[in-house]
Amino acid sequence: MTYDRLVCANCAAPVAEGRCPVCRASRARLEQQGQGQGPLGGMNPMMLIALLVVLLCALALLAHQAA
């Protein structure tokens, strides 16, 4: 989950803005967790499915041309 959609329970502001110490701590924790995800870690599930479909279509096209 990304912090740009989260709302702080302490100050009711978006966590991404970091208005209070709770927001800033949550934002720092989420940023730290996001660093180890790799190149596809920031993609949502629908984008990953779409990428998989495109790759499968490309493989099917290559297999059809090779035959």
Buried b or exposed e, range 4-13, using 16+ CB within 10 angstroms: eeeebeeeee
CB 19 within 8 A of CB 11: yes
**Length of the chain counted residue by residue:** 67
Mean pLDDT by 10 residues, the chain (67 residues): 73 85 84 67 84 96 91
* Cα gap 2→34, rounded to integer Å: 8
pLDDT of residue 37: 62
DSSP assignment, residue 10? T
